[in-house]
Amino acid sequence: MKVIVVGAGAAGLMAAFSAARAGAVVTVIEKNERPGVKLALTGNGRCNLTHVGEARELIGKIPGNGRFLYSALHRFGPEELRTVLAQLGVPTKVEGDGRVFPVSDRATDVINGFERALQEMGVCWRKERAVQHLCISAGTVSGVVLTNGETLAADAVIVCTGGASYPKTGSTGDGYRLAREAGHQVVSPVPSLVPLESDEEWVKQLQGLALRGVRVRGLQRGRLLCAETGDLLFTHFGLSGPVILLLSKMIAPVLLEEAGSVSLSIDLTPKAGDDELAAEIQQVFNQHIRKTLKNALENLLPGGLVPVVLQMAGISAQKPVHQVTREERRRLVKTIKDLLVALSRPRPLAEAIVTAGGVSVKELNPQTMESKLVKRLYFAGEVVDVDGLTGGYNLQAAFAMGFLAGAAAAAGHKTAAGSG
């Protein structure tokens, strides 16, 4: 069987490996000089490969059509992925929160491991090449036409071109065009796991300030949308950091539909209840009774936040501690536990970690990733309308889809186009 894999990201590398290991003659077409460009950036270069857990647990962390991956994650879950990586010479480790990384903490080791294995199995590379068209006749794919006009014949084609985020890595939405060419419905791509913008000036003035372990709630006109605890970063445009990326899955679509309709409530001291915080504030006041309120509170909060909190609480920063009233202490507690940030919009799709949307899962066979419309055509990875939360779930999904597609393509799977 001759199998062409279009794209050499996580899904493409695994699809090529799976197909070649099953005996197929594999050609990988990659538009960049080297494979895995986006993969090299994941986890800040450490490569958060997956997350330990049973299939049902992982599916729960993939709110974007996670149930479509039921077969894929049962056949190729975190343990199967770690076994393959070990065979590639890339041992892995599990961190305390369940995230899995290479022992070396280097994403490049994962990419190099795949490259070595594919070379040993005789996989042919066509780097710095892109696919212009799919060759489709009588409802069956028979190859691809490259942008230079060259035609490559194949018994099966696996499209693993990624989404539309981080276009500098080569993810420019090429797969959506190829899918539409084959008659597939493409769910409009939108940013998922993306920083959020705020037009509030005080937010931008705090650029570079990181908050650890804060509780953040997303509110749409006062109604709770979502809530998470984690680390937050103030930026020149608004807010980023792990907790913001998690919340953006729910918040970004709402903001895209109605800009400015969502605000964030930040609890700066989630481990302390209101009474505990009030007692802690009183203790700070007792210790710094002769100082101004601003100087005293710098012993409780990051310095840059103090003027913001006091302004929102309606208290003068220069007020002596011993003059603070009970009502002002109450307002101070409320502001620290409920610091409000008005959001305007998500950052552009190009800056999203993951793309939501893509080839409709209704038109793919979940057991093989084969198109239900065109025989021998497969889709895997971020090009498919599947997206999860941060923590390794998106890479696990891509690897699992790639593994299934590669194995099915090599086996000459007989799933009829148009069947359920």
What the chain holds in terms of domains, given with CATH numbers, is 2-190+354-411 (3.50.50.60), 195-346 (1.10.8.50)
Averaged pLDDT of the chain: 94
The predicted-structure confidence for 389-409, as pLDDT tens digits, reads as follows: 989 999 999 999 999 999 999
The predicted-structure confidence for 258-269, as pLDDT tens digits, reads as follows: 988 999 999 999
% the chain with pLDDT above 90: 87
Strands 25-30 and 2-6: parallel
Contact 403, 77 (CB under 8 A): no
pTM of the full predicted structure? Answer: 0.88
The predicted-structure confidence for 339-348, as pLDDT tens digits, reads as follows: 999 999 999 9
% the chain with pLDDT above 70: 98
Q: Is the pLDDT of residue 271 over 90?
A: yes
Question: Which H helix or E strand runs over 202?
Answer: helix 201-205
Determine if residue 222 is left, alpha or beta; phi over 0 gives left, psi from -120 to 50 gives alpha, anything else beta.
left
Phi and psi torsions of 273, nearest 5°: -75, 175
Q: Is the pLDDT of residue 184 over 60?
A: yes
pLDDT class for 413, splitting at 50, 70, 90?
low
